[in-house]
Structure 1
Amino acid sequence: MDSQAIATHPDHTHAGHEHPPYLRHHFATVEQQRETSSFGMWLFLLTEIMFFGGMFAAYMIYRNWYYPAFVAGSHQLSIVLGTINTAVLICSSFTMAMGVYSAEMRRKSALVMWLLATIVLGVVFLGIKADEYHEKWEKHHVPGLNFSVQDFVRVNPAYPEDKALPLDMAEKTQVYFSLYFAMTGMHALHMIIGISILIGLVIKAQAGAYTQGHMTTIENFGLYWHFVDIVWIFLFPLLYLISRHQ
């Protein structure tokens, strides 16, 4: 292709609307770029579903095998803190959705505000989760050599309420806490990654990005954030609400 043809080719037009600055050179149109990015994001989320799905499957299998031990372990978790964290994440999904809406409406200040609100809620969630982890460490509920079940109370009505959980169930209870730390730990890691990305998005949004007609990045990150929230919606009842009735 000669220089004149290159100069008149739509993909090399700098002054027109055919080639906005955010359109990558290997895409013909903005719509093609958006659809490709969205497809890639959904494909990534599919791999995440398979990843967490494996842990959920392991949890359900061991819960069926060691149900009394899982019930005893669940009673060592705080429903209050778990409920607060659930509410925090639901609110963060709302603020993230409002961020996507603000980008669509090309409202820069609102976009930055909602992204910052999402960061704050994410940090609150991690702070509460860190407090829970600290409590488990102090009570020796972290699987390992110092793991202890002496303070567990049998919740089976057939036994006295003050009767300690038999020591032969210690290993089975460790399975519960191993899955607890593995599943909530991976979820927390996804939250940390998400907050780190959000900080970068806020910096770029303040510079004017995402409100000039190109909001695919915000949309795709919104999908990621909602996925992380949905994972917690499943974790909360499975880990915290096992046979809480007496």
Structure 2
Amino acid sequence: MPGSSNTGFGTPPAHIAIIMDGNGRWATARGLPRTVGHKKGVEAVRAAVEAARELGVRYLTLYSFSTENWTRPQDEVSALMQLLRFYLRGEIAKLHRNGIRVRIIGERQRLSADIQALIENAESLTAGNTQMTLVIALSYGGRQELVEAARKIAVAVRDGELAAEAVTAELFAAHLSTGDDIPDPDLMIRTSGEKRVSNFLLWQLAYAEMVFLDTLWPDFGRRDLEEAIQEYHRRDRRFGATVGSR
């Protein structure tokens, strides 16, 4: 039964986006290499995806690697790419069995050819699944996404394929990497105590509720997800309207 919610506190938000932060600090606090924290973070990803599916979340977007992350030390970047390979090779079959569709957003051309092939395979294999959509933001930056959408629209106007007056918010959103088939997040969660969006889904988060947790990502579990959903339900979402006008 897709989307079966057993939260006990109402229907979960349709789309949850998570900034997974704190792997390095988790490892450093334990006197371990940062790469150990990233490995532990992959385990938290597995648990978060499973919990979201069981709770009835329809879309889950995970910020796994930003365009800014390319500036990290090369050995750390290489380790992260290896973990990505491991995840794409080892988890996709299970995601497929669980009816989860996988979508990757970001500048995939910056990734190695073998990783691009793994991404294409994951998206192709799971394209028809309807239980939940897992969106992985990889080599992703919100500003870059907006620039690319604006560039595509500008070219269409220049070439006479689109009238300038036809450019609307809806049309602009359709040119983003989330396209017109992934709704904007209702809830954004960030772990590790940081309180900023860090170039993540800048357009799509316009009306998302935001919950910032002190929990470091490797320690994030089902209870943290449930508590964030509970906090979401305590919010009064007016989308810019006054009280009583919706």
- Larger Rg over CA atoms: 1
TM-score by length of 2: 0.23
More helix by share: 1
More strand by share: 2
